[in-house]
Chains A and B, each alone.
Chain A
């Protein structure tokens, strides 16, 4: 079986025509995992019952699931020591829907601990390697999911995106990654990081596959009050005008190869018949600053539940306070602790107004800016990342440099709008992505432009 040419769409056709069964397909992927994953380390666990799942789901698509999404009865560790042996006691809504569609779960994928990071180097279980260059990071935080798809160790994967955690690793690994509109996919059963920013989304080989998985997972969910329905936002129709914020192309830190590649992508979009219009988006740097206040504030509150009392790792201590402190200090990683501290700082008395208050004002300014731009254009195009994948260890000791890798992806989370990263070729032998951003609810517009672009 030639796995390379297989997509979700083609596999579903092949099942219908009887060309191969889901069991045969799943066992091919297990073979690839056996050959490659010792070098790539995309998976934290490959499930022992994959072939049994396939027997029961003759039309089942094999998927890899990020380790922060709950599957009933299976370990979900968020790549943290604090949940090393934690077994989920219910299914996330997205998982329930994927199960109803007959999906087969190959295993759980590596990530930055609790989705905090952009390289998977913050995993408590060691980093994932980029399949295109084993000395480089696959991106993050959904690095294991993106690497698994790129290495052919699964047909598709599920990730989560709080500030770029689906799109950035997809760009670094040369695959398609979608962050849906905030509320499109239920967050029930996704371990919360920044609750006003988090979204579950697919990582796939093609845009058509991205749409198939989104359609399965999307929908109103009474267990997540922020979910939206198909008619929450108005239908936008087909895209004709694409906005390019020319000013960001002069930005410091934008790799010259990435810039050249992006200009070629814009030429391609022109030749496909799209009108390209310069749009002013002055708030890129402000969006990143806003993100690094709102996100840690929400992190510090969401992480408070991991205290060693009811589940997960518990350290020894003479008093209750010592048990809390020892548990969290021993079992949480450096980046998680850094964000808890930063979040506690921006929420504390005396700083609340000047940081958290101001960040919420800035968030509204950025949302308004998007609204203004989308009156004029249907889609905004940017590079997904300012550079291709960096080397393992290159940025791990400099948090601000690491955070700057999110500069193009963060604004979509701040505003809650959908965005997709599509493979746009290579720079110095490493994949880079084209990011397309659309107004609230307009994933169809992204799929439309994306499918034409990837041809």
Chain B
């Protein structure tokens, strides 16, 4: 192999790695910057709901559960905005669509991990406060009512996977509109939403869990794991859709 070919090969591998890392780093930076505003507002909202419910003697369990539901839509919005804004600068800076896809998936992973951990921490903190106030903690929404380490893990993984899926869904929706225009894009985007809806139902309404319990006769943590498995499959389907949409997305000139 000639020196030139070796140089090109070395540059190809290095450029790919660097581009993926840079996309993920950029998304991570946005998550930190926007999250610094979002999460305190969520905590404040949960606290206000709790105070109002207590004022009217209606406090009967978790209030965090009512506000963290917005997190998936927040992840979805970030998924719509951030990768779309990056497509052209990323390609102009020398990146490839493949690197953008991988970087966005990593970025969605960061979103999922951070959202899952923060939500699990919020539930854990709320449980601690409820204990201090000598109140019973329970929730009406969600995969599992476990407290302690098991509850923390289930919340972190479940909510993290849903946030991951919704972030990817947001990216796929914006890529769908760029690729197919408003009408066909709308049809594509509606179909793209199916896996996310499945993930949502699996996590919160529990048909997968019920199916695992009643039809398959599973018990213990296995039904909850079955629910999580459905969310994983939904995330993988969304990931595949995003890959197909991004791999040949054309880039139009920015008009000033």
Bound together: no
B interface list, Cβ under 8 A from A: none
- Give chain A's interface residues, CB within 8 Å of chain B: none
